[in-house]
A and B are shown apart, each in its own frame.
Chain A
Amino acid sequence: MKKKSITEPRTSYTFDAYTNSEIRRAAETGIYDIRGGGSKRNLPNFDDLLFLGASISRYPLEGYREACNTKVILGDRFSSNPLNLEIPITIAGMSFGALSAQAKEALGRGASLVGTSTTTGDGGMTKEERGHSKQLVYQLLPSRYGMNPDDLRKADAIEIVVGQGAKPGGGGMLLGQKINDRVAEMRTLPKGIDQRSPCRHPDWTGPDDMEIKILELREITGWKVPIFVKVAGSRPYYDVALAAKSGADVVVVDGMQGGTAATQEVFIENVGIPTLACVRPAVRALQELGLHRKVQLIVSGGIRNGADVAKALALGADAVSIGSAALIALGDNDPRYQKDYEKLGTTAGSFDDWHEGLDPAGITTQDKKLVKRLDPKLGGKRLANYLNVMTMEAQTIARACGKNDLRNLEPEDLCALTVESAAMAGVPLAGTNWIPGN
């Protein structure tokens, strides 16, 4: 007779169910896991911060009555035509190839409806995106796929991509199954092969070279459009300082919750630092150079709502950028496709095999039938609604803190729930005046 255990079965914290499944998958396939999206770990994040609303010692503004400015100008350091945005939330770079043309169009439509910018990605500029984006940032990436001086001159700003939060120090990968004729032609590569995006630019290394690269781009575009430099959240103090010193108008810092089209899981979850930890070092670098607010700082990576926007701005950012959240607004991982997700062995909310080109929502795919599931007009409207809600949420918080401009929010308006987040954000632990590390 079987002996009955008197204790509950104990699962290992170290070898949890996901870890075990990943070991089995690796053993079975011999291939590391590649997926899209950003870090899924439980990282310190903006939820660990709280605002200190006004009461007697601070004076609040009336909600719905007193104005709270949301406009921001990006790139007025050296360019003659900076971006004038109605809201401090931009759409991050995502490539045609990784996304369908319809998705790129929807992003452009949504951003334009609310007066903000969208950004190209690896693979160049599509006519759908340019045509529907009032303010379009053109990325200069290491691969230079689709890089074209004609498109460069059509851009409203240029973003030199040095790194991406999901994979600091890493390149990209667009697997062959997503390479249709149009994507292949834009990237000057055969159809159906894996397209590796290098991790370094082909014609420069280091900040001294980057300064000359920025000069070249300004000479090509007549010093009209702003030059952004995007760095991954890794060593934000040094990278932001070097980008600013190299002549950038705007620096974008992308934390490890920032998404990718396709990268190794081990890379996404183990390289880089959380977005929360990026902001203060980046701001300090600009302040020490006397360039805070002169070189604008955009923070991205896991921004989800108006509270995140307000917190990033309170820590010193000038704007934020969203990618994954924008795709969710369009319909990514929507429960209405649950049955289709189940056929792919996943669930709505967990789907991240964007590289396989089978996205039921028609966003991260080039499949002719699937892409029709996304109506660019409707998607654009949904994105605009979402951006408006985020902005109003941020305004609500700012007014409660007595601020008539989102960018007047400051670290003094914040406290932290954990010692870790207090140290990372440089704000006091709630109920104390203790800032760890100070």
Chain B
Amino acid sequence: MHILDFNKLSLRDINKTLQGSDKNSFFSIRNPKGSHALAVGINKKITVEVVGSVGYYCAGMNKFSDIKVEGSAGPGLGENMMSGNIHVTGDVSQYAGASGHGGSILVDGNASSRCGISMKGVDIIVKGNVGHMSAFMAQRGNLVIFGDAGHALGDSIYEANIYVAGEVASLGADCIEKKMTKKHLSNLENILSNAYVSDYNPDTFRRFGSARSLYNFNVDNAKIY
């Protein structure tokens, strides 16, 4: 294990080390002090644990890597990630997983507003609650919420799935509750199994997705626009 300490190294030093490391390396980052843009642009299978909370865009645009934050994360966690895994033991701020194309994000705490905005294939699991406008314009992937969802969930959603165990304050435009079929239940179980989450009752989840009524412009929908 390699220890990278913010008390001794700069952000550039640490990111350069992570980006240039050998496959299957393991790093522990100490004293992150809420730093922004930490562990971004990693393009190989390495494991990084961050001991402490991080700022904006932690693990942004990564491929293959496993990142664990033992603390909380600021806005844009894992933005545009392509693959790999992120696990945050605390809470996460706005836009977690924004436009993520693949991989998975597991949040033990709560996620703020616009969680999964424009997601394009990433799986996001939030064990707590999510804020308003989560899964806004979500294109592909899955957002699993163990707690409650804020207002306008799934507004203008495309082909992503939303699974919610708690209460939904309100649904956004063109987002509707859909039948939880065997296929979707299996999908939910696979997502959670891949993230090593086992302490749940699948029967408590409801599924939400697109009514697909706004996919093509129609003047009859003018009031919704």
Interface status of A152 (Cβ within 8 A of chain B): yes
Q: How far is the CB of A251 from chain B (nearest CB, A)?
A: 21
Residues of B48-93 whose CB lies within 8 A of A = 55-57, 60-63, 75-76, 79-80, 82
Shortest CB-to-CB span from A35 to chain B, Å, is: 14
In Å, the complex CA distance between A148 and B75 comes to 20
Q: Write the nearest CB–CB distance from B55 to chain A, whole angstroms.
A: 7
A213-B61 CB under 8 A given contacts A144-B120, A219-B15: no
Given the complex of chains A and B, what is the CA–CA distance between A222 and B43 in angstroms? 13
Q: A219-B37, A220-B60 are in contact. Are A204 and B75 (CB under 8 A)?
A: yes
Q: Is B139 an interface residue (CB 8 A)?
A: yes
A148 partner residues in chain B, CB cutoff 8 A: 82, 101
Quick check: B117 and A215 within 8 Å, CB to CB? no
Contact assessment for A202 and B99 in the assembled complex, using a CB-CB cutoff below 8 Å = yes
Is B175 on the interface with A (CB-CB < 8 A)? no
Looking at the assembled complex, report how far the CB atom of A16 sits from the nearest CB atom of chain B, in whole angstroms: 25
Q: Roughly how many angstroms separate A18 CA and B76 CA in the complex, as a whole number?
A: 47
Contact of A220 with B79 in the complex, beta carbons under 8 Å: no
B98 at the interface (CB under 8 A from A): yes
Interface-central residue, B94, B139, B156, B159, by most chain A CB under 10 Å:
B139
Nearest residue (CB) in A for B58 is: A216
**Residues in A whose Cβ lies below 8 Å from that of B217:** 31, 173, 175, 194
B185 contacts chain A at the CB level, 8 A cutoff: no
- B83-120: CB near A (< 8 Å → 1, else 0) gives 00000000000110011010000000000001001101
Report how far A30 CA is from B218 CA in the complex, Å.
9
A296 at the interface (CB under 8 A from B): no
B216 at the interface (CB under 8 A from A): yes
Q: How far is the CA of A222 from the CA of B99 in the complex (A)?
A: 22
Partner of A216 from the list B37, B95, B114 (CB cut-off 8 Å) is B37
A176 CB–B CB distance under 8 Å? yes
A266: CB under 8 A from chain B?
no
Q: How large is the interface on A (under 10, 10 to 19, 20 to 34, 35 or more residues)?
A: 35 or more
Is A335 interfacial (CB-CB < 8 Å)? no
Q: Given A192, A202, A220, which contacts B118 in the complex, CB threshold below 8 Å?
A: A202
CA separation between A198 and B117, bound complex, in Å?
11
Residues 160-191 of A contacting B (Cβ, < 8 Å) = 173, 175-176, 188-190
Q: Which residues of A contact B99 (CB under 8 A)?
A: 144, 147, 202-203
In the complex, the answer to whether A31 meets B219 with C-beta atoms within 8 Å is yes
Distance to closest chain B CB from A247 (angstroms): 12
B42 to chain A, nearest CB (A): 9
Q: Across the interface, which residues of B come within 8 angstroms of A212, CB to CB? A: 36-37, 55-57
- CA A221 – CA B43 in complex, angstroms? 12
CB-CB under 8 A from A198, the residues of chain B are 118, 137
Query: What string of 1s and 0s marks CB contacts (under 8 Å) between B116-134 and chain A?
Result: 0110110000000000000
Let me know if B33 is at the binding interface, CB within 8 A.
no
Indicate if the CB atoms of A193 and B215 lie closer than 8 Å: yes
When distances are taken between beta carbons in the complex, the residues of chain B under 8 Å from A30 are 219
Residues of A contacting B208 in the complex (Cβ-Cβ under 8 angstroms): none
Residue of B nearest to A218 (CB): B37
Cα distance, A147 to B119, chains bound together (Å): 12
Docked Cα-Cα span, A216 to B80, in Å, equals 12
Q: Do residues A188 and B55 form an inter-chain contact, with CB atoms below 8 A?
A: no
Q: Digit string of B131-155 for contact with A (CB within 8 Å is 1, else 0)?
A: 0000011011000000000000000
A203, B79: Cβ atoms under 8 Å? yes
Residues of A within 8 A of B158 (CB): 189-190, 193
Q: Indicate whether A143 reaches chain B with its CB closer than 8 angstroms.
A: yes
B29-49 residues with Cβ-Cβ distance < 8 A to A are 36-37, 40-41, 43
Docked pose: A403 CA to B139 CA in angstroms = 53
Is B178 among interface residues, defined by CB-CB distance under 8 A?
no
Determine the chain A residues whose CB is within 8 A of the CB of B63 once the complex forms: 149-150
Q: What separation, in Å, do the CA atoms of A176 and B158 have in the docked complex?
A: 14
Chain B nearest Cβ from A137, distance in angstroms: 18
Cβ–Cβ contact B101 & A188, under 8 A:
yes
Residue in B closest to A149 when the chains form the complex, CB atoms? B61
Q: Judge whether B159 and A190 touch: CB under 8 Å.
A: yes
Q: Please report which residues of chain B, range 175-225, place their CB below 8 angstroms from some CB of chain A when the two chains form the complex.
A: 215-217, 219
- Cβ A203 vs Cβ B75 within 8 A: yes
The reply to whether B101 and A194 form a contact with Cβ atoms under 8 Å apart is: no
Which B residues are in CB contact (< 8 Å) with A47?
A: none
In this complex, which of B95, B98, B217 has the most chain A Cβ atoms within 10 angstroms of its Cβ? Answer: B217
Q: Which of B8-42 contact A (CB under 8 A)?
A: 11-12, 15-16, 19, 36-37, 40-41
Q: Are A219 and B215 in contact (CB under 8 A)?
A: no
Contact A203–B95 (Cβ < 8 Å): yes
Which of chain A's residues 204-230 have a Cβ closer than 8 Å to chain B?
204, 209, 212-213, 215-216, 219-223
User: Of A149, A193, A202, A219, which is within 8 A of B43 by CB?
Assistant: A149
Given contacts A202-B114, A212-B55, contact A189 B219 (CB under 8 A): no
Inter-subunit contact B41/A219 (CB<8 Å): yes
Q: Can you list 13 A-B pairs, Cβ within 8 angstroms, ordered by A?
A: A29-B219, A144-B99, A144-B118, A149-B41, A149-B43, A190-B158, A196-B137, A198-B137, A202-B117, A203-B94, A203-B117, A216-B57, A223-B12
Kindly list the 6 A-B residue pairs having the minimum CB-CB distance in the complex, ordered from nearest: A220-B41, A144-B99, A203-B76, A149-B61, A216-B37, A193-B215
Instruction: Mark A residues whose CB is within 8 Å of B.
Output: 29-31, 143-144, 147-150, 152-153, 173, 175-176, 188-190, 192-194, 196, 198, 202-204, 209, 212-213, 215-216, 219-223
With A143-B118, A212-B57, A216-B60 already in contact, 7 other A-B pairs whose C-beta atoms are closer than 8 Å: A144-B99, A173-B217, A202-B98, A202-B118, A202-B137, A216-B56, A219-B12
